Structure 1
Amino acid sequence: MNFWILSIDSLMTTFSTTESKYSINYKMKLNSTIEHGNILNGKNIYPKDKILGYLNKPIGEIRFVFEVIEVKDGHLVLQKIYETKYGVNLSTLEQIDKETYDLLESNDQYQLQNLSENTYHALFNALFNKVKSIDSSPQEIREKPEGYTVPQRDPKQDSLPHNWIVFGAPGTGKSYEIDQQRFDYFGTNYERVTFHPNFSYGQFVGAYKPRPQKGDKSTITYELVPGPLLRMLTKAMNAKAQNFVLVVEEINRANTAAVFGDIFQLLDRNEEGRSEYSIVASEEVKDYIEQETGTALQNYELRLPSNLYIWATMNTSDQGVFPLDSAFKRRFDFEYIGINSSEEKIDEIDITVNGIGTLNWNHFRRTLNDYLLNNVRNMKDDKLVGPFFIKKTDLEGSERHFQRVFQNKLLMYLAEDILKTDKTKLFKYRSFSHIMNEYVEGNNVFTEEFTNFLLEQG
C-alpha cells in the first residue's frame, strides 16, 4: 500500500457537496491539463492506496481521507472515507514534513505527492486529534460526532435563544463562541452547515436525488434525501427529552429567503420555543417525517419543536453577502462580538513586521485599527482586524510561515479590500505587487505617518 497527498482547488472542490447513505466515488482525469500535466508524473498508484486531501488556499488545510478504488482508462477513482470541518493546517504540516509543506505552500493545484508511511500516519493522527467530531463511516460523508458527549447545561434553564445569530468583524471568534456554547449545551446533538451563494432550499431542507436501489445497485431510484434541517428536525422529534442545535456558518453568504423558503414561517417561536405558526408540509416531506418518527402530521401541519435550536454566525464585512431583510432579522436574537473580544487569549504573542521590528500582535492590530478609523473615510468597525484574523497557530508558527500568512492574508486584505481605491493612506506604494515585492525584500511598506504612530503608541 502506498500513501499520497493530493492538492485540491478549495474554491471548486465537489468532494463535500454530495450527501448519500451509499458509497460515493469521485473520478479524476489523470492528465487534466497541459499546464498541470499528468498528476502521477510517472508514479505508480494502485487500488487500496490512501490519499490525504489538502484544500489549497484560502483554506489551506488537510480535510479529507480518500481510498483509491480504481485506476483505469486515464482516470483515478477515489472513495471518500473521512471529512472534517477543521483540518490540519500548514503550520502543523511544516513540523511533520518540511518537504511536503514546501510543495503545498507553492499553492499549485492538482499535485499528487507520495508520502512515507510514517508521515501519512502522523498527519492522519493530527487530523483526528484536531477535531472533536468526524465522520468515521465510509457510507456517511457528512459531519457526524464520534461517540456521544453529554451536554453540561440546559439551554431552556439558562433562557438561551432558539434562533440566534452571532456577528462581528473578521477574526473576532464568532465560530469559536458558537462552538463553545454548542458543546456546553448540546454536546454532540448538533449538525453544522456552511451557507454559500449557490446553497439552495433543496440542500438545506431536502430534495429528490438519484440513488442505487438496495440490493441492486445497477438500478437507480429517486427518493427524498434530507438536508441538515430535516435531519435535525426528525432527531428532535424522536428524542423530546434532549436538545438539538443546527449551526449555520456564514448565514448571509446565501440568499436566506430562498434557502429557508416556507421554513421562514416556522421561525416565529412561542414562549416555550415551539413554532407559533405551522406550514403545510409537502407530500414527500410528510412521508419522510412520518416514516422516521412514527408521528402522524395532522392536516400536513409542521412546526419546529421547542428542543430544536438554530444558531448562526454572520460576517458583515464580507464582499458579496446577501442582506437579511427586517422580517428575517426580527425572528432572530443577535449578539455582537466586539473587535477586541477574547484578545487576552493571545495577549503575550509577539510578531516581527519587516522593516519595523518586533511588536506585540494585539498592540499592532489595535494601533492599526485606530489609524484606519482616523484616516480612512467611511471606515466601519466590521472591517477592522480582530484578534484571530490570523489564527493563533499561525501567529505561533515558524517565522517563515508567519511571514507568508502576514503577507498573503493581512497585507492582501488591507490593500485589496480596505484600501482598494487608495492604498497610499497606509502604504508607501500604490500597487499591491509593489507592496508585496518590497515586503518580501525585508523593507517597511507602511507610510512614515503610520510607522511613527505605531511606535509612539508603543
Structure 2
Amino acid sequence: MEQSQKKAPEPYAKQPSQIIYYGVPGCGKSHAVDEEINKAINEYNEGKTDGDKISYEDQVKRIVFHPDYGNADFIGQIMPKIRERGGVDYVFKPGPFSQILRKAYLNSSKPYFLVIEEINRGNAAAIFGEMFQLLDRIKDNKKDKNGYGPGWSSYSILNDDVNDYIRDIKAYEKSDHSGCVKPNHPKDMLDGNGNPVDSPDANGKKEIDFSTATSYCSLELILRGFDSPQIFRESTAIRLPPNLSIYATMNTSDQNVFTLDNAFQRRWEMKQIPNDWKNTGDSAAQYCRTIKKVKKTESGEESVDTNVQWGDFRKAINEVIMDSAQANGLSSMEDKRLGGWFYTESDNFAEKVLKYLWDDAFKFDRKTQFGEIKTLEDLVKEFNKVGFKVFKADAISKLQRDSLTTPDTPAQNDTSVTNG
C-alpha cells in the first residue's frame, strides 16, 4: 500500500545538551533541569498555533537509576507474549531510551529530552552498555564521511532490536511521525530480493496485510544535516540525533552508590548547582518556613512551632558542618551541606534533618555536636523536649532563646531574617 508523499518540517535547529547537574541534597538540581527543558519548549512554541505546540509530557522521558536498574530496563528486552489463539511470541519490549530515541528520529523538527535522576545510584556504564559509545557527539560544524553533522553521535551502534522498534508498524500507527516522509512495505511482506510478495485481489489491486506485519522494510526520514530524506533500513546503525538532549542529576554526597568513571564523565558537560536560595524556586517562602517539633499530648502528638526559620538554621548548620570537617581533617564534607529543599513543610524535622546530621554529616563528630547523647532515638526525644539546645554549637543553640526551651512555650528566633 503506497503512502502519499508529504512535506515534512525542517529539522530542529538547536544543538543538543548533554549535562550532569550535581550538588548537595536539595540544592535544586531537578529544578534546574526543568527550567532548561521548559525554556526550550517555550521557545519552540513561540508563534505557533495551539495545534502545533508541544508539551512537557510529550517531549520528556524521565527515569531514575537505582542499584537494581539494568541495561534491559533502560534499552529494552525480549519478552514472551501469549497469542490470543494460543502459543507464545517473543517480542521486544522497549525501554525509555528506545522510546525517546524513536520519537526523536521520527519527529526531527521537535526537541526531545531524556532525564536521568540519580545517575550515580545505578551502575551507569552497565546500564548504558554499548549505548555508552553514542554519548560522544560531533561538534564544531564538522561532518563525518557518512554526512552526519553537529549534534549526531560521533560513532554508531548496530542494534537489531532498537532498529526494528524504530520501524515498528504498530508503534508508527500509535504515535506522531511528522519527520517521516514515507514508510515502505513491511519487511515481513518482502521476498528475498526485497520485492513485495502480496498478491492481487479479485479486482487486480494489491493489498498488504498489515495485521500480520511487524515492521516496515524502511522509513524515509527527514534528518538534520542531510539535503534529502534518508532511508532508515534494517541495516542502519543507531546514533543519537541532534534533537535529543540528555540531562542527568546526582547527589555527590550519597553513600553506597556507584562512581562515575572519568571515561563516562568526559562525555558530559558537568554543572554544579550552587547551594543558593535562588536555585530552589520559591526561595523567600522556603527560607521563612518555621521549623516544628513534636509535643506529646494525651490524645497523641501535635506540632509546635520553634519559631526558628529553616533559612536561618540551614545557614548556621552548613557553617558548622564545614567547621567540623576542618577540625577533623575531612576533605570531602562540602557536599554534606543541606540544600534549600532538603526540608519541606510536610517533613518531620527531627526524623529527617537530625537523622541526616546524626547518620551522615556528623557521623564522626557526634560527641562534639551533641554532647553525651548516645543514640538517634535520644536525640529526637531531646529535640522535641528542648528544641535547638540539643546542639552544642553556639551558632545553632542561639537561634532559640535560653529561657524558652520547652514544647509548651514557643521559642523565639533572635536572628535577622533575610529572604533568598
What TM bracket, shorter-length normalisation? 0.5 to 0.7
Q: Write the letter of the residue equivalent to 1:163.
A: Q
Corresponding residue number in structure 2 for 1:408? 351
Q: CA deviation at 1:454?
A: 4.8
1:259 pairs with 2:199:
no
Contact kept in structure 2, 1:368 and 1:454, CA below 8 Å: no
In structure 2, the CA distance between the partners of 1:348 and 1:434, relative to structure 1 (3 Å rule), is closer
Q: CA deviation at 1:357?
A: 4.2
Contact kept in structure 1, 2:23 and 2:273, CA below 8 Å: yes
Q: Write the letter of the residue equivalent to 1:374.
A: D
Q: Alignment partner of 2:319: what SS?
A: helix
CA distance in 2 between partners of 1:182 and 1:193 (Å): 15
Contact kept in structure 1, 2:290 and 2:306, CA below 8 Å: no
Q: Alignment partner of 1:166: what SS?
A: strand
Q: CA deviation at 1:433?
A: 1.7
In structure 2, the CA distance between the partners of 1:457 and 1:442, relative to structure 1 (3 Å rule), is closer
Deviations 1:391-450 (A, max 9, x none): 2x43xxxxxxx5xx1011101000011122331222131321211222233453211544
Q: TM-score, normalised by structure 2?
A: 0.63
* Equivalences, count: 290
Corresponding residue number in structure 2 for 1:430? 374
CA distance in 1 between partners of 2:367 and 2:353 (Å): 16
Q: CA deviation at 1:451?
A: 3.7
Q: Write the letter of the residue equivalent to 1:418.
A: A
CA distance in 1 between partners of 2:342 and 2:166 (Å): 42
Q: CA deviation at 1:384?
A: 0.4
Residue among 310, 320, 329 paired with 1:361: 310
Deviations 1:244-280 (A, max 9, x none): 0011110111111100011111111113211111112
Q: CA deviation at 1:334?
A: 1.2
Corresponding residue number in structure 2 for 1:287? 164
Residue among 267, 271, 276 paired with 1:340: 276
Residue among 291, 296, 308 paired with 2:244: 308
Corresponding residue number in structure 1 for 2:66? 196
In structure 2, the CA distance between the partners of 1:230 and 1:155, relative to structure 1 (3 Å rule), is same
1:350 pairs with 2:279:
no
Following TM superposition, the consecutive aligned residue runs of length 4 or more in structure 1 with deviations greater than 4 angstroms are 154-157, 352-357, 452-458
Q: CA deviation at 1:351?
A: 2.7
Q: CA deviation at 1:220?
A: 3.7
Question: Which stretches in structure 1 are left out of the alignment for 5+ residues?
Answer: 1-153, 395-401
Q: CA deviation at 1:366?
A: 0.6
Deviations 1:173-194 (A, max 9, x none): 1112212322332432111111
Q: Percent identity?
A: 33
Superposition map of 1:27-66 within 5 A: none
Q: CA deviation at 1:453?
A: 5.9
Corresponding residue number in structure 1 for 2:333? 380
CA distance in 2 between partners of 1:450 and 1:433 (Å): 23
Contact kept in structure 2, 1:197 and 1:255, CA below 8 Å: yes
Bigger CA drift: 307-316 or 340-349?
A: 340-349
CA distance in 2 between partners of 1:356 and 1:235 (Å): 50
Q: Alignment partner of 1:207: what SS?
A: strand
1:162 pairs with 2:17:
yes
In structure 2, the CA distance between the partners of 1:156 and 1:389, relative to structure 1 (3 Å rule), is farther
Bigger CA drift: 441-450 or 308-317?
A: 441-450
Corresponding residue number in structure 2 for 1:6? none
Corresponding residue number in structure 1 for 2:101? 233
Higher relative contact order (CA 8 A, sep 6+): 2
Corresponding residue number in structure 1 for 2:138? 270
Q: CA deviation at 1:457?
A: 6.5
Structure with larger Rg: 2
In structure 2, the CA distance between the partners of 1:335 and 1:448, relative to structure 1 (3 Å rule), is closer
Contact kept in structure 2, 1:166 and 1:334, CA below 8 Å: yes
CA distance in 2 between partners of 1:317 and 1:219 (Å): 50
Q: Alignment partner of 1:390: what SS?
A: coil
Q: CA deviation at 1:381?
A: 1.7
**Structure in which a larger fraction of residues adopt strand:** 1
Superposition map of 1:81-230 within 5 A: 157=14, 161-186=16-41, 187-188=55-56, 189-213=59-83, 215-216=84-85, 219-230=87-98
In structure 2, the CA distance between the partners of 1:424 and 1:286, relative to structure 1 (3 Å rule), is same
In structure 2, the CA distance between the partners of 1:324 and 1:451, relative to structure 1 (3 Å rule), is closer
Q: CA deviation at 1:284?
A: 2.6
Q: Write the letter of the residue equivalent to 1:209.
A: M
Q: Alignment partner of 2:307: what SS?
A: strand
Bigger CA drift: 368-377 or 255-264?
A: 368-377
CA distance in 2 between partners of 1:196 and 1:155 (Å): 32
Contact kept in structure 2, 1:234 and 1:289, CA below 8 Å: yes
Contact kept in structure 1, 2:293 and 2:384, CA below 8 Å: no
Question: Which stretches in structure 2 are left out of the alignment for 5+ residues?
Answer: 1-10, 42-54, 140-149, 173-217, 220-231, 295-303, 401-413
Corresponding residue number in structure 2 for 1:439? 383
Deviations 1:73-122 (A, max 9, x none): xxxxxxxxxxxxxxxxxxxxxxxxxxxxxxxxxxxxxxxxxxxxxxxxxx
CA distance in 1 between partners of 2:13 and 2:370 (Å): 51
Q: Write the letter of the residue equivalent to 2:255.
A: Q
CA distance in 2 between partners of 1:207 and 1:300 (Å): 20
Bigger CA drift: 340-349 or 309-318?
A: 340-349
Bigger CA drift: 365-374 or 271-280?
A: 271-280
1:325 pairs with 2:261:
yes
Q: CA deviation at 1:211?
A: 2.4
